[in-house]
Amino acid sequence: MRALLRPDNLTGPRSLLTYLAMGAGIATFVPGHTVAATVFACLAIVLGWGNLRLVGRVIFSLIILLSVAALAFEPSALPRAAGNMARIGALIITVMLLSAVMAQSRDLKIIARSLFAGKSLVRYMGMTVGTALLSIPLNFGAVGVVATMVGVQVKEKGDSALGRNAARAVVRGFGASPMASPLSIAIVMTVTFLPGLSSWKLIGVGLPVAVLFLVAGAYAREQEPARDDVAVLPEDHQPALLPWLRFVAIIALICASAFTLNSQAGLVYAQAVTLSCLAAVILGLAYRRLVDGIVALPTLAPVNNELAIMGGSSFLGGIIGVFALALLGMDFSLPAWAYPVMAAAVPWLFFAGGAVGVNPIISGTLAGSILGPIWPEYGLLGLGLGMTTGWGITIAGTPYSANSLLLERCTGYSAQHAAWQWNLKYSLSALALSSLLCAALTLPI
């Protein structure tokens, strides 16, 4: 029992179980694969109990409680919940695996250093857009890479407007990713809970919003004193064009593959993204084998936190959705005017939850599982956009998001100060715009 409470315990079995959960989640042709994937994921979570965050432990405890309740009152909820966790769990694992493989690339350091070159405005835009692009396949790894270099700048040069603007650019760039990235957990979970909403429509509307969110950030930064020497880090003169082109090409191929599998092969969007990421991982490992002569599978032992929080939330969403529908009734509906009002409120609810420490994954689970079944077909785009923009603004503008805490650890800048002093007006403006757009998209046709 004591072994389960140690943060570094049983890493080999945990990694193996996580790989098995991924394989079972992908093996849709095998009967009972969703149950197997859920069981493997839960075992990996339990074996890593010692390194689970509090929110992960709470979510896993709720999985047990609601599963018992479902067995007693609504057994039909369990297959749906297991299906959600199998798909989202496999996606999370492959995305984290892709991040681990791409982090070994020699191009990554050159790309990250290139973000620090140029004059103030160019540097800010390059850093925020670059972080957004890096976040597509790397997820939190993008914040870790760029924020580490911001930390080096702060340590060597001291606190400055340049360092503070760089920190702003990183969190805002990462915040734009959930709004439009085809590989985003936010996008995948939204279309999972709103199956009538197509991913390409959500991304098509979310992309201009994400671009506006990034560009508007340039007007919400500090003025930097003029400086002749704009080289912030050593060796940032290395040519970065080819590394960037290779990186963008990889992203484009993964996204094109996901859309093809979803639209032409008829796969569920989560499965399409999972298989596309896995193909990129296999090709990346094969390339490393050719170049270095050796290859090793990354350990997936630390992924149990993501499995518990994201995969567990999707499991809970499946049960909550069935319970909500049973409680409200199949014919439950609201007045037509209420849907635009609720759509406008969704981004604010995400942000309010994030301000007190509620993970956007939990907010998304509750919004999707409760509102999704009662939402009219014509207004799904408004609800979906509210969920993804609320998700992005929350992780960019609240102090308890994982990327804000990671930035604080890397740079020393207080997450509280960054959220409430640097970004509050910017976040409120983004929320207001998002609310208006979501309400407009939910108006009856």
pLDDT digits (tens, 9 = 90+) for 110-134: 887 777 777 788 888 988 998 888 8
User: Tens of pLDDT along 174-192?
Assistant: 899 999 998 888 898 899 8
Q: pLDDT at position 265, please?
A: 83
Q: SS3 for 215? A: helix
User: Tens of pLDDT along 414-423?
Assistant: 888 888 888 8
> In the predicted model, is pLDDT for residue 227 greater than 80?
no
Q: How far is Cα 73 from Cα 268, in angstroms, rounded to an integer?
A: 29
5 versus 111: the higher-pLDDT residue is 111
Q: How many residues does the chain have?
A: 445
State the total domains in the chain.
1
Query: CA angle, corner 327, sides to 321 and 330, nearest 5?
Result: 80
Q: pLDDT at position 3, please?
A: 53
> In the predicted model, is pLDDT for residue 294 greater than 80?
no
Q: Which two tokens stand for residue 305?
A: 């936190």
Q: How far is Cα 201 from Cα 208, in angstroms, rounded to an integer?
A: 12
Band of the pLDDT at 103, cuts 50, 70, 90? confident
Q: pLDDT at position 246, please?
A: 87
Cβ distance 92 to 25 under 8 Å?
no
> In the predicted model, is pLDDT for residue 234 greater than 70?
no
Which of 245, 431, 219 lies closest to 344, judged by CA?
A: 431
Q: How far is Cα 182 from Cα 251, in angstroms, rounded to an integer?
A: 10
Query: CA angle, corner 326, sides to 325 and 328, nearest 5?
Result: 65
Residue 72's domain spans which residues?
2-441
Q: Which two tokens stand for residue 443?
A: 């108006």
Q: Which two tokens stand for residue 247?
A: 């990186």
Q: pLDDT at position 275, please?
A: 92
Enter the pTM of the model.
0.85
61 CB-near residues (< 8 Å, 6+ apart):
none
105 versus 81: the higher-pLDDT residue is 81
Q: Which two tokens stand for residue 277?
A: 């990421």
- pLDDT exceeding 70 applies to what percent of the chain? 94
Q: How far is Cα 360 from Cα 264, in angstroms, rounded to an integer?
A: 31
| Distance, C-alpha 44 to centroid of its chain | 21
Q: pLDDT at position 229, please?
A: 44
Q: pLDDT at position 228, please?
A: 42
